[in-house]
């Protein structure tokens, strides 16, 4: 009985350490539902002192499974946020490329450029009534925080709407792999800047 009690105590200590590790790992950006689920599982383990070693192991395995699922969800969210940052940069690049255009009470739009199609033609596809191309832009950026005022953090090109510039398929966001945004030295993704007439 002494060995069993010590073994259970060791298992509970491992659970406490695992839970502490999970809390530290998630401190930067936790998803509320997943964190609440982990806390419930931890509370169940801590409140049930009569569990057998098999039940305790099953609870630990459940915590590990929940933590791994959370990590996968967080990785997907990180990729989505990187794509959103690229889209916001593309919108800013479009605005900077069209100082005289895009006036009026409505917004303008940015769409990923399709290979082999001119932005003039792509904007005419009725993208929310924004049928006039104002510019084509191509941009890329590097991950991480800048550490000097001379460090290059990104690159861009701007093109005319009636050309088929930069036709490399690797520069096509729609054709790219989901995690391509995380590759350092990645392609210049291309966008069409479309406005209402």
Task: Note the pLDDT of residue 192.
Answer: 93
pTM over 0.75: no
72 Cβ contact partners less than 8 Å away, ≥ 6 residues apart? none
Reading the chain (197 residues) residue by residue, the pLDDT tens digits are 444 555 555 566 555 655 555 555 555 455 566 666 777 777 766 666 555 777 778 888 888 888 888 888 888 888 888 889 999 999 999 988 887 766 677 888 999 998 888 999 999 997 788 899 999 999 988 888 889 989 988 888 888 898 766 667 778 889 888 888 877 666 788 999 999 88
CA distances from 83 to 76, 113, 177, 180, 186 (A): 11, 15, 12, 10, 13
Task: Note the pLDDT of residue 3.
Answer: 46
Hunting for tokens 């490329």 — which residue is that? Answer: 97
Task: Note the pLDDT of residue 172.
Answer: 84
Burial 134-168 (b: 16+ CB within 10 A, else e): bbbbbbbbeeeeeeeeeeeeeebebbebeeebbee
What tokens does 174 get? 């729609």
Q: How far, in Å, CA of 193 to CA of 197, rounded?
A: 13
């Amino acid at each position: 009985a002494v060995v069993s009690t010590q073994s259970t105590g060791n298992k509970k200590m491992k659970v406490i350490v695992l839970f502490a590790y999970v809390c530290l790992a998630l401190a930067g950006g936790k998803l509320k539902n997943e964190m609440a689920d982990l806390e419930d599982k931890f509370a169940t383990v801590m409140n049930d002192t009569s569990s057998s070693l098999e039940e305790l192991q099953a609870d630990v395995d459940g915590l590990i499974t929940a933590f791994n699922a959370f990590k996968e969800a967080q990785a997907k969210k990180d990729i989505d946020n990187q794509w959103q940052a690229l889209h916001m940069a593309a919108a800013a690049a479009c605005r900077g490329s069209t100082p005289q255009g895009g006036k009026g009470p409505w917004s303008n739009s940015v769409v990923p450029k399709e290979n082999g199609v001119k932005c003039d033609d792509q904007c005419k596809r009725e993208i929310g009534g924004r049928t006039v191309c104002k510019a084509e832009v191509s941009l890329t950026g590097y991950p991480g925080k800048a550490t000097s005022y001379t460090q290059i953090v990104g690159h861009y090109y701007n093109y005319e709407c009636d050309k088929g510039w930069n036709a490399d398929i690797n520069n096509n966001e729609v054709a790219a792999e989901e995690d391509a945004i995380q590759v350092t030295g990645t392609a210049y993704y291309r966008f069409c800047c479309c406005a209402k007439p």
